[in-house]
Amino acid sequence: QVHLVESGGGLVQAGGSLRLACAASGRTYTMTTMAWFRQAPGKEREFVAAITWSGVNTYYADSVKGQFTISRDTAANTVALQMNNLKPEDTAVYYCAAGQTWTLYKSNRNEYSYWGQGTQVTVSS
């Protein structure tokens, strides 16, 4: 089992920044990929960004390229999502996820076996 706990969400004005963190524990050595997804009210959960457990490879949704940065702290077993120039449309619950593969389908939520409980990000206009 892998346990994921997100933190860092909150309320921010448009143009501001937030840094989310995901702390991983348990059998993390079985994981290859860590990712962030988000779900806005009334919408499907969507992929945001992914990173290999080593931190070498990253992949972003087109909608957040150049705005968000995913990173790994291998010593602390955490994954961070730095979000800059936030917009009201970034408002959502953000979820951390862990999976055992790094494939062409890394943006598909079905590739991930473990999920955190989510953290709310609200961007006011």
What is the full per-residue pLDDT of the chain (125 aa) written as tens digits? 999 999 999 999 999 999 999 999 999 888 899 999 999 999 999 999 999 988 899 999 999 999 999 999 888 889 999 999 999 999 999 999 999 988 888 899 999 999 999 999 999 99
Q: How far is CA 68 from CA 5, 27, 100, 110, 114, in A?
A: 20, 27, 23, 22, 22
* Model pLDDT, residue 28: 87
User: What is the Cα–Cα distance from 9 to 20, expressed in whole angstroms?
Assistant: 6
Phi, psi of 13 (to 5 degrees): -80, 155
Token look-up 């079985």 returns 30
* Model pLDDT, residue 105: 85
Q: Which bin fits 3, alpha (ψ -120 to 50), beta or left (φ > 0)?
A: beta
The Cβ of residue 27 has, within 10 Å, a number of other Cβ atoms equal to 12
